[in-house]
Amino acid sequence: MQLNELYKKALGFEFLSVEEGVFLFENAPLTELMYIADELKKIQVPHGKVTWIIDRNLNTTNVCVANCKFCNFYRVPGHPEAYITDIETYKQKIDETIRYGGEQLLLQGGHHPELGLSYYVDLFKELKRLYPNVKLHTLGPPEIAHITKLEKSTHSEVLKALKDAGLDSLPGPGAEILVDRVRRLISKGKCGSQEWLDIMHEAHKLDITTSATMMFGHVETVTERFEHLVKIREVQSRKPEHAKGFIAFIPWTFQDVDTLLAKIRGVHNLTTPEEYIRMIAMSRIMLPNVKNIQASWLTVGKKTAQICLQAGANDWGSIMIEENVVSAAGAPHRFTSRTIQDAIREAGFEPQLRNQQYEFRALPKQIEEQVINY
């Protein structure tokens, strides 16, 4: 394989194979990878702005039976710290989110063995009744798989019922690495890789916009990372023409503080800033049919995320008014609506507030800046 030949293929928006992706990742100079990815970004996102969103990661419950080895957030059924969020808490937190300029909830939780479809349908309907303009970017493929199993139903029927109840878009959590060897080691209690992909395809058929993710830097090989990217690309290529499908791809690094993976297996996140920037660039190159690539400032920090904006990333995601899952494993970084814009400008770009469909939003005239005290 020759680097120049692969560069030409990439710039032509051709699909690179797993082997070609690995070769580029391991052999291309970082500056050249960044240049190729940046050129592709300029074509796919010609406005040149860096988008961001104001929303809140609110958890329905911390009760979970999946037993993922990288998660410090969950509690087993019956644990004294177990909870199911009540409607008064939702109201208080949504009111606060609106004051901070937000219009969306990223609503997720554990695999609670007693919360089936009717619970989520009723919850979504009530939230939409109380807050008809608040978008519900909610659940994810593992939770859809869990609900489907509890109901002895189908993915399509569950997704349709949730969409009818108020689900606006489907996030992409629980992908980790979409290779079953890896999933057996780190998230055995979750759906397998094919079921994750099948659920996303069903969502696309129902015109539910989704996003895709990857958590890397643990037990996976480099080849398995690229198998993951090719699987995402293949599902996107099968979406109906009218659907947006995967509107964004978000890779982030494993956070290892006090996790079972670290304690029992001795697995630690050794991802360097350069390696993360390479993965951002390769995400842009390997996914020519996914328009938006998001840099995970939450896990890699401001400076690395800023460099990613020169390496194919065009989005900085949310200020995350609240985030409890990744933070529980050691992710320390925080932004407010003001400081995220300052950081984007500092990197040489114009910040642009967006919604989950990547449509531009005007910054609300009356907006309260969050005080970060945690």
Write down the pLDDT at residue 308: 98
pLDDT band at 239 (very low <50, low <70, confident <90, very high): very high
Write down the pLDDT at residue 330: 47
pLDDT at 333 > cutoff 70: no
Tens of pLDDT, residue by residue over 342-367, are 999 999 999 999 999 999 999 988 88
Tens of pLDDT, residue by residue over 283-325, are 999 999 999 999 999 889 999 999 999 999 999 999 888 765 5
Domain count, the chain: 1
| Cβ atoms 357, 321 nearer than 8 A | no
Q: What is the CATH number of the domain that holds 250?
A: 3.20.20.70
Write down the pLDDT at residue 158: 98
Give the range of the structural domain holding residue 126, as residue numbers without chain letter.
Answer: 3-353
Write down the pLDDT at residue 373: 63
- Asked whether residue 367 is assigned to any structural domain, the reply reads no
Mean pLDDT of the chain: 94
Hey, which bits of the chain come out as E strands?
50-53, 56-59, 104-108, 135-138, 169-170, 209-216, 246-253, 292-293, 315-318, 351-353
Mean pLDDT of 197-216: 98
Transcribe 34-93 into DSSP letters.
Answer: HHHHHHHHHHHSTT--EEEE--EEEESB-B-SS--TT-SS-B-TT-TT--B--HHHHHHH
pLDDT band at 128 (very low <50, low <70, confident <90, very high): very high
Query: Letter for the amino acid at 223?
Result: T
* CA–CA separation, 168 and 1 (whole Å): 44
Mean pLDDT of 227-231: 98
Joined together, the tokens standing for residue 148 give 């489907």
pLDDT at 264 > cutoff 90: no
* CA–CA separation, 30 and 255 (whole Å): 24
pLDDT band at 372 (very low <50, low <70, confident <90, very high): low
- Asked whether residue 365 is assigned to any structural domain, the reply reads no
Write down the pLDDT at residue 323: 60
Mode of pairing for the β-strands spanning 209-216 and 315-318: unpaired
- Which of 110, 125, 205 minimizes the C-alpha distance to 162? 125
pLDDT at 371 > cutoff 80: no
Write down the pLDDT at residue 258: 76
- Asked whether residue 369 is assigned to any structural domain, the reply reads no
- Asked whether residue 181 is assigned to any structural domain, the reply reads yes
- Asked whether residue 28 is assigned to any structural domain, the reply reads yes
Mean pLDDT of 209-224: 97
Measuring CA to CA, how many Å separate 135 from each of 130, 170, 263, 268?
Answer: 12, 11, 38, 36
For the chain, give the percent of residues with pLDDT over 90: 83
pTM: predicted TM-score of the whole model, two decimal places:
0.95
- Asked whether residue 372 is assigned to any structural domain, the reply reads no
Bin 146: left if φ > 0, else alpha if -120 < ψ < 50, else beta. alpha
Write down the pLDDT at residue 69: 84
- Which of 118, 130, 137, 117 minimizes the C-alpha distance to 88? 130
- Asked whether residue 370 is assigned to any structural domain, the reply reads no
Tens of pLDDT, residue by residue over 55-106, are 998 999 999 999 888 888 889 999 999 999 999 999 999 999 999 999 999 9
pLDDT at 220 > cutoff 80: yes
Mean pLDDT of 206-214: 98
- Asked whether residue 360 is assigned to any structural domain, the reply reads no
Write down the pLDDT at residue 163: 98
